[in-house]
Amino acid sequence: MYTVYIVDDKKLIRESLARTVDWEGKGFQVVGMAGDAFAAEEGIRKLRPDVVISDIRMPGRDGFELTREVYKILPDVKVIIITGYDKFEYARESLKLGAVDVILKPIRNSDLESTLTQIYNQLGEKKTVSSEAVSGVGANPAPDKTGETMGHLTRAVVNYIDQNYAAEISLGALAEMYRVTPSHLSKVFKKEKGLTFLRYLNQIRMDHASQMLLDPKYRISEIAESCGFHSPLQFTKVFKEFYGKTPRDFRRR
């Protein structure tokens, strides 16, 4: 049995899902539930479920924020987002974060059970590959398992950078956060993304900086600080590497 954790601020929805879905028939069991993201994070750290089902709109901290935290705790977890809002932006953001599926409320059990079948097969394939790698059975099983793990690690790091680009971020700090060595993280990131960790970080910062430069109300020093640079001089140097001109010249175009 694989384990599931349900997060929704509506008690009726949580209990309805726990009671009416054919969990056992799909190879799952519900091990915990929470009505808000803070309680959910604590429960997920303790129970370490295989699947997290979370609503988007919750008081205090939303499902997007919870998903980001969940992937830091469990990079291989499968997340299903549920929402009562049929908005493309919600679906796009959910899938960008790495969610397996987005299911609209009112939830049809058939839709959720279909997604659970998909997840069960994915988890089963991973378990089979892992067993073969240990026993030595099968042709080249390790790359498949390694590839999936690398993908989850890279996705988790990308998600963290996208949300925290304005903060001080280092390869070493992220490696410690995800319990890998800096050299391993550097190699995995370059292989998966096709560019170095620092290049990706600066690319995200430059994307935001170029947008802010279009608004004259922001001073260049403010933009530099908002995009994670210690000084306008450092910001200008990196900006010129990306765009071939200084932020001031870019603004004058």
Residues 6+ apart with CB under 8 A from 168: 228
Residue 223 belongs to what domain range? 164-253
Same domain, 74 and 184: no
Q: Of 132, 152, 177, which residue sits at a domain end? A: 132
Identify whether 140 is part of a domain. Answer: no
Same domain, 116 and 172: no
C-alpha to C-alpha distance for 96 and 122, rounded to whole angstroms:
19
In this prediction, residue 90 has a pLDDT band, given cuts at 50, 70 and 90, of low
The alpha helices in 74-141, defined as continuous H runs, are: 88-97, 109-135
Same domain, 9 and 116: yes
* Token duo for residue 71: 């992937």
Same domain, 168 and 126: no
What's residue 141's pLDDT?
A: 43
C-alpha to C-alpha distance for 138 and 60, rounded to whole angstroms:
48
Identify whether 152 is part of a domain. Answer: no
Same domain, 19 and 93: yes
Same domain, 196 and 93: no
Chain centroid to CA 214 = 29
Identify whether 138 is part of a domain. Answer: no
Identify whether 159 is part of a domain. Answer: no
Residue in 1, 125, 126, 107 with CA at minimum distance from that of residue 53: 107
Average pLDDT over residues 24-42: 94
pTM to 2 decimal places: 0.54
C-alpha to C-alpha distance for 144 and 26, rounded to whole angstroms:
24
Q: What pLDDT, in 10s, does the model give residues 174-226?
A: 888 777 888 989 999 999 889 899 999 999 999 999 989 988 899 999 999 99
Identify whether 143 is part of a domain. Answer: no
Coil, strand or helix: which one is 79?
A: strand
Same domain, 22 and 108: yes
Residue in 94, 27, 33, 86 with CA at minimum distance from that of residue 62: 94
The CATH number assigned to the domain holding 38 equals: 3.40.50.2300
Chain centroid to CA 42 = 18
* Token duo for residue 167: 């903060």
Identify whether 151 is part of a domain. Answer: no
Q: What pLDDT, in 10s, does the model give residues 45-69?
A: 999 999 999 998 888 888 889 999 9
Chain centroid to CA 72 = 8
Q: What pLDDT, in 10s, does the model give residues 15-30?
A: 999 999 999 999 999 9
Number of domains in the chain: 2
Q: Which residue matches tokens 């830091």?
A: 72
Same domain, 115 and 188: no
What's residue 6's pLDDT?
A: 96
What's residue 103's pLDDT?
A: 87
Same domain, 14 and 125: yes
Residue 86 has pLDDT above 90, yes or no: no
What's residue 249's pLDDT?
A: 92
Burial of 137 (0-12, 13-18, 19+ CB in 10 A): exposed
Residue 157 has pLDDT above 70, yes or no: yes
C-alpha to C-alpha distance for 253 and 248, rounded to whole angstroms:
9
Same domain, 104 and 29: yes
The CATH number assigned to the domain holding 187 equals: 1.10.10.60
Q: What pLDDT, in 10s, does the model give residues 104-155?
A: 888 889 889 988 998 898 887 666 555 654 444 444 444 445 666 677 788 8
**214 φ/ψ angles, rounded to the nearest 5 degrees:** -75, -15
Q: Are 232 and 221 in contact (CB under 8 A)?
A: yes
C-alpha to C-alpha distance for 52 and 67, rounded to whole angstroms:
9
What's residue 176's pLDDT?
A: 82
